[in-house]
Amino acid sequence: CLAITEEIGQCIDVPAIVMTYYNIVFRYGIEAFVARMAKAGIRGALLPDLPPQEAHDYVAAMKRAGLAPIFTFAPTTPENRMRFIASKAKGFIYCVARKGVTGHKTRFSNEIFSYLAKCRAWTSLPLAVGFGLKEAEDLELLKGRVEVAVVGTKLIELIEEQGLKGVQGFLQEFCRLAAVKKE
């Protein structure tokens, strides 16, 4: 994942994070993985299978490198756990848009909007929503509710179908439609 992220970073000027499994980071070596991310200009990482209560070494390494350890809220996360998760996270909170598996289109409803309001109540960090975002039109429904739209499966599909040039065009159009400010 680091090699692809490094290559994409040479094609487009958009802040990037890595989403991967903790076992990959653990086997690579926490310090070495974090150092390589920092060298590549990656801003942070989301390890969805690493519970924050078990992430002390990882969070400490990320802090030393000036990178953001990103954690998740889900529609099923109790409010007291949201408070704990928010206390460990930096950068933003990744809000899983719905129950189920990734890659399927998310249908936005009032249920997700009330969930996002609950997320907002438990953190001052920016909110990112992902899990089924596939079209630029999805951004219209999220504007004013979250700061970040996460598009994962769609990017993987584009890499497989068109290579990095397909990703570049998609992200440029996505950012144009979203009027994204680079930070």
With H, G, I as helix, E, B as strand and everything else as coil, classify residue 68: strand
User: pTM of the predicted model, to two decimals?
Assistant: 0.77
Per-residue model confidence as pLDDT tens digits over 98-151: 655 554 455 666 788 889 999 999 999 999 988 766 666 677 778 788 888 777
Domain at 2-151: CATH architecture? Alpha-Beta Barrel (3.20)
Side chain identity at 84, as an amino acid letter?
Answer: F
State the DSSP H helix or E strand holding residue 176, giving kind and residue range, or none if neither: helix 164-178
Nearest to 66 by CA among 86, 87, 39: 39
The predicted pLDDT at position 181 comes to: 47
Q: What is the mean pLDDT of the chain?
A: 83
Q: Where are the domains of the chain?
A: 2-151
Long-range Cβ pairs for the range 106-110 (8 Å, 24+) = 106/131, 106/132, 106/133, 106/138, 108/138, 108/141, 108/142
Q: What is the rounded CA–CA span in Å between residue 121 and residue 134?
A: 27
